[in-house]
């Protein structure tokens, strides 16, 4: 069956989850000494005392970058099948993708001109 | 082949039920969580499960895209949006009236019962001959369709993406001011 190729990926996912879980949650507590004091339990043991809540309002710039990342992420999705099939598509496919990328670059130039990419 | 409730126990079936369980559990977690941030992360679990279903059905490229776009970008976008707007964690809404809870339960049970009865009573058409596997990996088939047969729609997608990008920048900048 076709999806048997993905059994290896499944194996990697399972191992990738199981290894840190086994070491951090099961074997670790058995091996490491545990004598907690008030100082040790602080966020930064020998550093500054944390002030306020961990959840603060983030700068809107992060959101702008995330939005742009989403648009270019979708663009990348179109690049993958093109790259795989590149040799069969030839010059025709190359020009096609060039038009695609130029059109998207216009969007990038627009964002650039609007100073979205600047980090003040 | 061993059977359980009339369903043959194969690797694909086991994978399907595990994935369905992941999707359902994540979906219920989305509804049960108190904090919006936890809901957004749980939604990522739903996306990952759906990606697994895609891969199980042989649409491997769509599955990977699902992980890339939905589990990756959309979840991140939601988390960023929440970090931007949410200051407190007071997302708990008022508890509904107990009568309403019971009514919801009764109607849900009746609805699910009807669905199960209908699904069981229908004779589903089953293909007699085995489904032909794809002659090529789906990535190549998608590429041929996208860059040969549907060239104009593909180029229009770039226009759409540019419009989305410009629109997002416009709206987000207006919010900023």
Note the CATH architecture for domain A57-120.
Up-down Bundle (1.20)
pLDDT of B90 higher than 60: no
Asked if B24 is an interface residue toward chain A (Cβ–Cβ < 8 A), one would say no
Q: Output B109 or A29, whichever has higher pLDDT.
A: B109
Q: With a CB-CB cutoff of 8 Å, which residues 76-115 of chain A face chain B?
A: 76-78, 80-82, 84-85, 88-89, 92-93, 96-97, 99-101, 103-104, 106-108, 110-111, 114
pLDDT recorded at residue A1: 46
Domain ranges of chain A: 57-120
The answer to whether B34 touches B92, Cβ cutoff 8 Å, is yes
Q: What integer best gives the mean pLDDT of chain B?
A: 84
Q: Output B176 or B35, whichever has higher pLDDT.
A: B35
pLDDT recorded at residue B127: 74
Best residue of B61, B80, B90, B148 to probe chain A, by most A CBs closer than 10 Å? B80
**DSSP conformational letter for B97:** P
- Residue A66 to residue B89, Cβ atoms within 8 A: no
pLDDT recorded at residue A71: 86
pLDDT of B149 higher than 60: yes
Which residues in chain B are contacts of A52 at CB distance < 8 A? none
The answer to whether B16 touches B56, Cβ cutoff 8 Å, is yes
pLDDT recorded at residue B106: 95
pLDDT recorded at residue B93: 63
**Chain A with chain B: Cβ pairs closer than 8 A:** 145
pLDDT of B158 higher than 60: yes
The answer to whether B138 touches B131, Cβ cutoff 8 Å, is no
pLDDT tens for B26-78 read 999 998 887 888 888 899 999 999 999 998 888 888 998 999 899 888 998 88
pLDDT of B23 higher than 60: yes
Q: How many CB atoms lie within 10 A of CB B169?
A: 20
Asked if B20 is an interface residue toward chain A (Cβ–Cβ < 8 A), one would say no
Q: Which of B143, B164, B168 sits opposite A84 (nearest CB)?
A: B143
pTM over 0.80: no
pLDDT recorded at residue B176: 64
Q: How far apart are CA B150 and CA B154, in angstroms?
A: 6
pLDDT of B94 higher than 70: no
């Amino acid at each position: 069956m076709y999806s048997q190729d993905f059994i290896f990926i499944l194996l990697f996912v399972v191992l990738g989850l199981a290894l840190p879980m086994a070491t951090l949650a099961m074997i670790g507590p058995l091996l490491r000494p545990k004598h907690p004091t008030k100082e040790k339990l602080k966020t930064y043991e020998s550093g500054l005392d944390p002030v306020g809540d961990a959840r603060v309002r983030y700068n809107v710039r992060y959101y702008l970058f995330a939005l742009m990342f989403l648009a270019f992420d979708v663009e990348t999705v179109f690049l993958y099948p093109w790259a795989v099939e590149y040799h069969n598509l030839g010059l025709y496919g190359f020009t096609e993708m060039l038009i695609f990328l130029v059109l998207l670059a216009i969007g990038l130039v627009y964002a650039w001109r609007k100073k979205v990419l600047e980090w003040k | 082949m061993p059977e359980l409730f009339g369903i043959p126990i194969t690797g694909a079936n086991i994978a399907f039920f595990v994935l369905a369980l992941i999707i359902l559990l994540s979906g219920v977690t989305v509804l049960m969580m108190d904090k919006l941030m936890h809901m957004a992360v749980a939604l990522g679990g739903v996306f990952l499960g759906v990606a697994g279903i895609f891969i199980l059905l042989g649409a491997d490229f769509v599955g990977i895209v699902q992980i890339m776009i939905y589990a990756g970008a959309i979840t991140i976008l939601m988390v960023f949006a929440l970090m931007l707007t949410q200051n407190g964690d007071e997302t708990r809404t008022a508890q509904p009236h107990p009568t309403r809870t019971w009514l919801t339960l009764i109607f849900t049970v009746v609805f699910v019962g009807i669905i199960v009865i209908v699904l069981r009573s229908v004779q589903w058409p089953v293909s007699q001959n085995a489904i032909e596997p794809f002659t090529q990996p789906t990535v190549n088939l998608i590429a041929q369709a996208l860059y040969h047969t549907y060239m104009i729609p593909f180029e229009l997608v770039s226009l759409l993406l540019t419009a989305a990008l410009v629109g997002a920048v416009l709206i987000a900048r207006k919010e900023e001011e």
